[in-house]
Every structure is written in structure tokens, then in C-alpha cells.
């Protein structure tokens, strides 16, 4: 088995009943960027529009039962997927560049190509685009291409290979940024859509649909990932994974491939994205604390068996922690793997110290560790 890295609408007080007397005041309502062809009324600082107008604009069917005086709104998944792809695609771009050195790229050797491409997504209207670090780290002369064919020269503003995230900047204002989903909002079984540029640039803004297979998945990388069965291929890297609201829930980064392996794709979740972007803006890079402690995972954690065992210390430059100690919590978070440890640091690190709960010879202890 191989693991490969690959290149709300706010509806306030919607009502089907008769609208109280009031003037429309020229109010307009936009659903996924499209203005409704229906009058909107502002009454007591609330916006009233016909329920049918909003629902049908989102691909839902509306039925009214006069006997029970009830409205029934049914959102079909097919319509939701179509609307999501249409509303999101404007924010998705292809990123194309030439290899800095063909010798360092296996892809260039295998396919006899001198250029590489991946995907990105607009996160700020001022030309700020998020993608994978592995998409842009080895290329120069970056060109960002939009779904309408417009293209702009781009440059790498920030890059962090540990998280596999990078920010590309282009000289263009007025872009449509994608909306971020709330952190930790994904659940197993939820429908998600990947949009990107698989295999060839003329496939840009291709979409594939699947479900979330796992959240907080440890695949031996620095952080935890979101697993899905969405189809991604070379060139999808850096593209968005979105929910049916069109909100960003992850950046597509890698997948498992091999004989008998199907439907195992991995995306960087929103909490990691927010953490890295915040660090970029504050420090220009991602600051990670060094406790001077090395440790190893239990055999259960290494092979993916659920376990409550902590991390066994193998080396320590800190007088409070000794080899043989077992770290169970970091800043209040349980840790059973290296990825758990890194997640705990990411969530709670304040730049000065970390709190470690550990056991020594079966006795529980707490230590406050200064970091470098």
C-alpha cells in the first residue's frame, strides 16, 4: 500500500403566510450569490421573503397542505450537490508552474513533463489563495487560472511543509472567497464534495462526491486528518473539500493507492487550516514549541488499535521528565500518538510553556515545561 500526495444563506423569518403590510424598501435577497426575483419586506428589522422563492432557488421542493396548514420543504441531494458545485467553483483555481529542477520531480520524469499543476481555493477577496505546500514548493513561474479562463501571475507568500499548507498571492481584488465551516463540524457519513484539477488542466473544476469516512484520523503524519471516499487524483491537491452548504471543511492532500485499495482520501481539516493561517498572519511562519523531549508510541497506537496508553519518554533534556516516564496529557488533552501530541500543542500552546501529565512507576505527576 502506498500513500500519495496529489498535485449561509441567512434567511431571517421566512414565511409562507401572508406578509404583514409593509413596504419592500427595495430590499434584495441573495441566495448563493444569485438575487431572488421576489420582493423582500423589512418589518421590525427582520427580512421577510416567500419561503418558496428561497427554497426553490436552492433546489428544494416546497409543498403546502392547506388542511394542516403546513409547509413541507424537501431538499434533494442531487440539487444540493449541483448548487454547491455551481456556487463554489468561482472560488476554485488551478495552479500551474514549471519545475525548478526536473531532476527533483519524479512526476516530471515519469510523465516527461516540465510543468506541474494543482488546485487552490480563494480565501480572501484580495487575491489570497490557499493550497498545499507540496503543490508549490518545487515550482516557479506560478500561474493561477480561474474557471472563466482568467489567469494571473502568482507568488508563494507563506509555506509550511509540516502541515502541507501554503498561501499563494495574486494581484487581483474583488474575488469571491470560500466560506469556512465551523471547526469540528464534520461527522462520519456526511456528504462532501471535492473540486479540483485532476490529471490535466483541461479538467479544472471537476467535482467528485462522497462521504466522510473518518474524522481525526491518524495516518502517521504530523497532524490528524479527515478521511473520505471522495475520488481525488493527481492535480486535486490543494483543492477544497466542501459540505453541501458550500463551506470549506478541508484541503485535499493525499490518498492511499495500491492493489485492492479504493476510496481512501485524506484532507487537512479546518482546525489545522485556521491554526496555520493564524500563525502565518502573526509570525510569517508556524511556530512550534520544542520541549526537549523525545518519546515513542505504544505498539497499539502504531498499528492503529484504539488504546488509552500514553507516550513513553525515550530522551529528555528537561530535569522534570525522565526516560521511562509515560506522558498521558498535554495541556489537558489526552495523547496516545505523536499526532495527538502535536494536536494538543496546536490547540493550547501559548508560546511560553506546556503542562504535561505523566506517570512514573505508576504514580501520576504534573510538570510545567518551558519551551524553546
pLDDT in tens, 67-102: 878 877 766 677 788 888 988 999 999 999 988 765
Q: What is the predicted pLDDT for the residue at 345?
A: 86
* Stretches in the chain below the pLDDT threshold 50: 2, 6-23, 103, 108-112
Q: What is the predicted pLDDT for the residue at 180?
A: 96
Please state which architecture CATH assigns to domain 293-370: Roll (2.30)
Catalytic residue among 164, 271, 325, 340: 164
Asked if 336 is an active-site residue, the reply is no
Contact between residue 342 and residue 330 where contact means Cβ atoms under 8 Å apart:
no
Catalytic residue among 57, 87, 134, 206: 134
Domain 181-283 has CATH 2.40.10.10: yes
Q: What is the predicted pLDDT for the residue at 11?
A: 35
User: Residue 177 burial (CB < 10 Å; 0-12/13-18/19+)?
Assistant: middle
Q: Where are the domains positioned within the chain?
A: 181-283, 293-370
- Rounded distance, CA 134 to CA 96, Å? 13
Catalytic residue among 55, 89, 206, 237: 237
Contact between residue 230 and residue 194 where contact means Cβ atoms under 8 Å apart:
yes
Asked if 150 is an active-site residue, the reply is no
DSSP 302: H
Q: What is the predicted pLDDT for the residue at 16?
A: 35
CA 355 from centroid of its chain's CA atoms:
29
- Rounded distance, CA 205 to CA 181, Å? 20
Q: What is the largest CA-CA distance in the chain?
A: 76
* Closest CA relative to residue 176, chosen from 87, 237, 306, 257: 87
**CA distances, 146 to each of 50, 61, 94, 239 (Å):** 34, 32, 7, 13
The torsion angle over the Cα atoms of residues 9, 10, 11 and 13, rounded to 10 degrees, is 170
* Closest CA relative to residue 165, chosen from 280, 78, 75, 56: 280
Asked if 160 is an active-site residue, the reply is no
pLDDT for 180-199, tens place per residue? 999 999 999 999 999 998 87
Amino acid at each position: 500500500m502506498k500513500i500519495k500526495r496529489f498535485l449561509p444563506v441567512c434567511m431571517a423569518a421566512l414565511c409562507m403566510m401572508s406578509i404583514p403590510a409593509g413596504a419592500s424598501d427595495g430590499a434584495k435577497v441573495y441566495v448563493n450569490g444569485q438575487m431572488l426575483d421576489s420582493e423582500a419586506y423589512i418589518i421590525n428589522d427582520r427580512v421577510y421573503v416567500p419561503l418558496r422563492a428561497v427554497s426553490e432557488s436552492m433546489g428544494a421542493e416546497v409543498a403546502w397542505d392547506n388542511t394542516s396548514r403546513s409547509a413541507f420543504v424537501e431538499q434533494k441531494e442531487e440539487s444540493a450537490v449541483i448548487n454547491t458545485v455551481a456556487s463554489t467553483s468561482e472560488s476554485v483555481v488551478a495552479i500551474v508552474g514549471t519545475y525548478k529542477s526536473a531532476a527533483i520531480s519524479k512526476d516530471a520524469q515519469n510523465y516527461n513533463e516540465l510543468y506541474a499543476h494543482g488546485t487552490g481555493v480563494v480565501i480572501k477577496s484580495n487575491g489570497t489563495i490557499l493550497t498545499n505546500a507540496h503543490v508549490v514548493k518545487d515550482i516557479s513561474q506560478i500561474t493561477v487560472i480561474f474557471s472563466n479562463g482568467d489567469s494571473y501571475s502568482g507568488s508563494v507568500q507563506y509555506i509550511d511543509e509540516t502541515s502541507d499548507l501554503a498561501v499563494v498571492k495574486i494581484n487581483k481584488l474583488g474575488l469571491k472567497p470560500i466560506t469556512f465551516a465551523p471547526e469540528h463540524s464534520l461527522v462520519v457519513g456526511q456528504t462532501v464534495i471535492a473540486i479540483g484539477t485532476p490529471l490535466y488542466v483541461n479538467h479544472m473544476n471537476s467535482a467528485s462526491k462522497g462521504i466522510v469516512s473518518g474524522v481525526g484520523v491518524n495516518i502517521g503524519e504530523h497532524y490528524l486528518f479527515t478521511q473520505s471516499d471522495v475520488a481525488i487524483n493527481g492535480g486535486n491537491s490543494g483543492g477544497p473539500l466542501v459540505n453541501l452548504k458550500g463551506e470549506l471543511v478541508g484541503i485535499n492532500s493525499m490518498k492511499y493507492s495500491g492493489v485492492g485499495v479504493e476510496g481512501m482520501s485524506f484532507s487537512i481539516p479546518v482546525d489545522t487550516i485556521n491554526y496555520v493561517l493564524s500563525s502565518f498572519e502573526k509570525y510569517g511562519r508556524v511556530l512550534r514549541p520544542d520541549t526537549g523531549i523525545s518519546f515513542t508510541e505504544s505498539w497499539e497506537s502504531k498499528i492503529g488499535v484504539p488504546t488509552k496508553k500514553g507516550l513513553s519518554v525515550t530522551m529528555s533534556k528537561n530535569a522534570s521528565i525522565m526516560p521511562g516516564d509515560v506522558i498521558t496529557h498535554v495541556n489537558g488533552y489526552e495523547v496516545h500518538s505523536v499526532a495527538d501530541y502535536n494536536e494538543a500543542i496546536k490547540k493550547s500552546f501559548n508560546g511560553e510553556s506546556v503542562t504535561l501529565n505523566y506517570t512514573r512507576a505508576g504514580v501520576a505527576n504534573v510538570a510545567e515545561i518551558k519551551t524553546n
